[in-house]
A and B are shown apart, each in its own frame.
Chain A
Amino acid sequence: MPEPSKEQKHITTMRNMTDQFKNGVIVSVETSDHAVLAEKVGALGVEAVANVEAFKKDIAKDIPLIADPATVRDILNSIVLPVIARVRQGHFIEAEVMEASGADAIDEHEVDSKNTDVGIAMDKKNFKIPVFAGAANLKEALTAINQGASLIRTTYNGKYDAPNIDKTVQALNKIVSEINDLAEGKITVASLGSDLEDLAKGVAKNKKLPVPLFADGGIVLPSDAAMMMELGADGVIVSSLVFYVPNPDRRIWSIIKAVTHYNDPSKLIKYVEY
């Protein structure tokens, strides 16, 4: 069997890394205090995102909607868990800065885009760390994977301070049902585009993406997290708004338990407290 190319080895290593995130909960955090709390209650990693309060106060008209690299370094120094840095879609310098700051992964996020125009998405293969990308359907997912994404999360189409769980469910259902349709031949490999043919063939055969699929967007309730797992997600990303509920530690912990025991309603009833 031929030795895989350097590029193929790199892709495999990136996917092996994101594989370790499966069946767990990544919590979006704005500060190192949030990160420490998430680590304390059992999150498997955190995603550093913009400070919502600062955004709401409209401190600057061009507020970047991502975490300050200094905050990311602060978080890296506060916890041992993996830290994913969110960057704006297409903003490759931002991503290089986050990689250089020591982030464990990057999430290329459409947070300030009016749509998910994958034409402006960056080439994700050149990073030494995994890059996450968003998708609302199978074609977007495969396009992002073709560009080098090693984890797909549902696209976040809501306004930043009004996360929309309905959009999240919609995107997840769309991706999962299109994967099934492809496997059953109701969608053809050709219909996804010739540049995605190899990837699509793999998906049709294995009935899943070659990378983990995470639900993200408006998840702050344990029942929603469990539902995402039942609908076919490999894990969930919790909204940073969870830190604004009265008992964030108890809420995050309930979400984590809900994800572990999503297929056992008796356990959910016993363990889950809002």
Chain B
Amino acid sequence: MVEGIRIGVLALQGAFIEHIHALNALRNTEDIRDVLEVRTKAELDQVDALIIPGGESTSMALIAERCGILEDLRAFVRTKPTWGTCAGLILLAKTAIHTKKGGQKLLDALPVTVSRNQFGRQVDSFTIRLSSPCLGKDAEPFNYVFIRAPAIVSIDDPEVEPLVQLPPGHGQTEASENGLLVAVKYRNLLGTSFHPELTSDNRWHKYFVHMALSA
């Protein structure tokens, strides 16, 4: 039996290279056989797990649809370990609000409602250090980077596990008064609003690799 997991990063648009670097940096210590950029069905077929990176979700969804990979992605995320960061979180969702006129296509897998640009336009991008028990019992706080970020405004299935919640007051709507959810897990899916690949702290990448290996 060939060992190790093959992880793909969807490379239709956006900051995918940072995820590639983060995964490659883990190859000495984690059971990763291969790290690939994915643009086509053939490449998707070569991976066991997928990261959908940050970028512009509207653009990614359109490119995926018109390049004929959208249905293949929908099939993949139904059962295989997939992590959506920022734009990737929007794509994974079953419901997204504040999207473009006419809406945008989604992968329809994560039963949450995601609000695009929850924190407003560029001016409201921010960084916040939060303790993160999901990364380990006595884990150091993690430095969360939010760039034009979406947020999870509702969980639409009891099996969805909230992982990280912002303190109340961050965000633009009434929902933010309770503290918006910015990381959730559901079966084979991990969804995060923030960009862990923009820091050198690779604990979230380790988290996903372990999640994928135990699938």
Contacts and interface: CB of A to CB of B under 8 A. Distances in A.
Interface of A: 9, 13, 16-17, 19-25, 36, 39-45, 76, 78-82, 102, 104-105, 128-130, 253, 256-257, 260-261, 264, 267, 271
B56 interface: yes
B13 A80 contact: no
B12 A41 contact: no
B11 interface: yes
A96 to B, nearest CB: 13
A102 B121 CA distance: 8
26 contacts: A13-B145, A20-B56, A22-B17, A23-B14, A24-B55, A24-B56, A39-B58, A40-B102, A42-B63, A42-B66, A43-B59, A44-B56, A79-B100, A79-B101, A80-B58, A80-B100, A81-B56, A129-B122, A129-B123, A256-B63, A257-B63, A260-B13, A260-B39, A260-B63, A267-B67, A271-B67
Given A9-B127, A105-B122, A271-B67, A260 B58 contact: no
A104 B122 contact: yes
Nearest to A235: B13
Q: Is the interface of B mostly helix, strand, loop or mixed?
A: loop
B46 to A, nearest CB: 15
B120 to A, nearest CB: 9
B33 interface: no
Nearest to A80: B100
Interface of B: 11-18, 39-40, 54-56, 58-59, 62-63, 66-67, 86-87, 98-102, 116-117, 121-123, 125-127, 145, 147-148, 195, 198
A80 B16 CA distance: 22
A130 B122 CA distance: 8
A25 B63 CA distance: 11
B66 A24 contact: no
A260 B67 contact: yes
Contact of A23 (B16, B86, B116, B117): B16
Nearest to A83: B121
**What 7 pairs between A and B have smallest CB-CB spacing?**
A42-B62, A44-B56, A24-B13, A44-B59, A104-B122, A19-B15, A129-B122
A81 B57 CA distance: 9
Contacts of A13: 125-127, 145, 147
A253 B66 contact: yes
A16 B13 contact: no
Contacts of A105: 122
B118 to A, nearest CB: 12
Most buried by B among A22, A76, A79, A264: A22
A23 B11 CA distance: 8
Nearest to A234: B17
